[in-house]
Amino acid sequence: MFVVATAGHVDHGKSTLVRALTGMEPDRWAEERRRGMTIDLGFAWTTLPSGGTVAFVDVPGHERFVPNMLAGVGPVPAALIVVAADEGWMPQSAEHLAALDALGVAYGLLAVTRADLADPGPATARARAEIAATSLGTVETVPVSAVTGAGLPELRTALDRLAARLPAPTMDDPVRLWVDRSFTVRGSGTVVTGTLGAGRVRVGDELELAGTDEPVRVRGLHSLGQARPEATAVARVAVNLRGTPRDRLGRGDALLTPGRFHHSDLVDVRLTGDPAGDLPATLTLHIGSAAVPVRVRPLGPDTVRLRLARPLPLLVGDGALLRDPGRHHVAGGVRVLDVAPPPLVRRGAAAARAQVLASLNGRPDVADELRRRRLIQAGALIRMGVPVQAAPVAGDWLADPGHWRRLGEQLTQEVARYAREHPLEPGMPVNALRQRLALPDRVLVEALVRPPLRVHAGRVSAASATALPEPVARAVQRVRAEYGDRPFRAPDADRLVELGLGPREIGAAVRAGALLRLADTVVLLPDALDDAVRVLAGLPQPFTLSAARQALDTTRRVAVPLLELLDRRGATRRLPDDARIVVT
Ligand SMILES: Nc1nc2c(ncn2[C@@H]2O[C@H](COP(=O)(O)OP(=O)(O)OP(=O)(O)O)[C@@H](O)[C@H]2O)c(=O)[nH]1
Ligand SMILES: [Mg+2]
């Protein structure tokens, strides 16, 4: 199915055209039919020559109902622009087109209606020129008459061609179904309808009602008037919600995949229309079917901060529209740059923020987010619409690599200072470190502790190479530099002598936890034991000494005492035939 919204000035024949194409009545209300004017959105569908289905969202053209029009086109990526041959380009032709342009709608058709009443030529020329200057570009044009039926077959095939050009919807995306209608069905309860632009909804699914933590249960689904077990994008859907009272939700609400959306009442955006300095202090933000008053704070020439009157489930990269309802003026489109921007408190913060925003383009990028946020949970980024490929540093935490390195250095300094100031204590408490480094979670502190530091009994101890006599500490550093990437190669006896590591020095380094002694003149770096177990666990079990030696890329001189030490520690077990297994 593909969904297309109508657009165009009042009385230009949008509903008549939809009726002629589908045989269905888009004007649902008695008042609409009495007045011969669309007030609210209408819905109708038909089969195209290709066998595919097109569903129409028919919008009102009257200037008073532009907000309804915007709720209809907001979630729909294609438009059928209607201009009457006998009236030509009119104010809401322009306002609707400006709205489509602001929303970045790139797919459309032009139907020049009432072609039985006047030569469609002049209206066509003007409309095509206006449309060509927008995100829609050059569109296919079909003159039609709903009275004579002329042009309707051509319009059907043109709709088929338009459908074929639309990008395929993404099925893996979370669901964000903007509600455009809600009503009660006797015996079933609350039903909401909307255009499903991405993802899928199944009967039995649990969704989240935006703005609440409330789960709602999909009790039934209809699409194109038929009950279905599931609906996949793109589709018009009607969702029956179990146990949700009708007054809990309405147009502008959204049903969401639980836990996948950040709710934001403060966003930084880039403008694609009027410059920031020309905007009034309050406007209405339209996205999906929602319309929310916002306060506007200019930051850069084309960037502003919006304070929303109520939070919305917004993602980085979302397109939306700003409109001045008083002046009937579409101020332009916006692209969401940041849905969780920092507060601007210090002097100069706004100017600094403007600089940051100048470098953002609304394409979510995890490295870029980490550079700015330094430390954040992967789940939080995903809820902002940022795909996460980076590996966490601890738990669910992601860190900017440079920031993480600096934190590590700071941690080392803090631990050393604490040791100087509290010489009798066995190390710095993890919690004290968490506070000093202003870290939100103690797992981060633990992840930052690297040998020769270690965590023991809730403290980070200074039993480190820095506590060693200077020459020994330096020698250990040399070993680290030379053998850090070949962790199972030990310096030979001659090299130890060259480094100044005699038995006494080795003893001190071992006591400080800076070296690991396997035999009198066989030493490794202290993390080698854990690494060795990991490598050995990857071998087919049981394994021989020679297999272990090859896997560890080392010599018998190291492998024999290393395995014996692992046996003693219970990490490996020696079998009667001398093979070993890793004890799990
Ligand atoms: N002669 C002629 N009249 C038409 C044609 N299409 C629409 N009309 C008439 O134009 C008037 C307005 O048509 P609608 O379909 O209600 O117009 P609309 O664009 O839906 O109007 P709103 O929804 O209020 O914006 C009606 O009286 C229709 O009968 C056509 O192709 N030829
Ligand atoms: Mg109408």
SS (H, E, C) 340-352: CCCCCCCCCHHHH
Spatial neighbors of 51 by CB under 8 A, at least 6 apart, are none
Q: Which residues surround ligand 2, an ion (CB under 5 A)?
A: 14-15, 38
Considering every ligand atom, which ligand is closest to the CA of 114?
1
Atom of ligand 1 nearest to the CA of 113: 31
* pLDDT on residue 465: 42
Is ligand 1 within 6 A of the CB of residue 147?
yes
Sign of CA dihedral 454, 460, 465, 469: negative
Q: Taking Cα atoms as reference points, which of 68, 28, 61 lies closest to residue 44?
A: 28
For a pocket test of ligand 1, which of 14, 16, 96 has the largest count of ligand atoms closer than 8 A to its C-beta? 16
Atom of ligand 1 nearest to the CA of 82: 19
* pLDDT on residue 461: 81
Count Cβ atoms below 10 Å from residue 537 Cβ, excluding itself: 15
How many helices (H) and strands (E) in the chain?
18, 31
Tell me the backbone φ, ψ of residue 71, rounded to 5 degrees: -65, -30
Is ligand 1 within 6 A of the CB of residue 15?
yes
Establish whether the linkage from the previous residue to 452 is cis, with ω within 30° of 0: yes
- Expressed in angstroms and rounded, the spacing between residue 124 Cα and the centre of ligand 1 is 17
* pLDDT on residue 300: 95
* Spatial separation of the C-alpha atoms in residues 360 and 342, rounded to whole Å: 15
Question: For residue 367, what is the enclosing H or E element?
Answer: helix 366-373
Torsion of CA 67, 69, 74, 77, to 10 degrees: -160
- Expressed in angstroms and rounded, the spacing between residue 134 Cα and the centre of ligand 1 is 26
CA nearest ligand 1 atom 1, residue: 114
CA nearest ligand 1 atom 14, residue: 13
Tokens 């459309």 appear where? 108
CA nearest ligand 1 atom 10, residue: 13
* pLDDT on residue 432: 94
Kindly report the pTM of this predicted structure: 0.77
Give the residue ranges of the chain where pLDDT is below 70: 423-425, 462-467
The secondary structure of residue 500, as a DSSP letter, is T
Considering every ligand atom, which ligand is closest to the CA of 65?
1
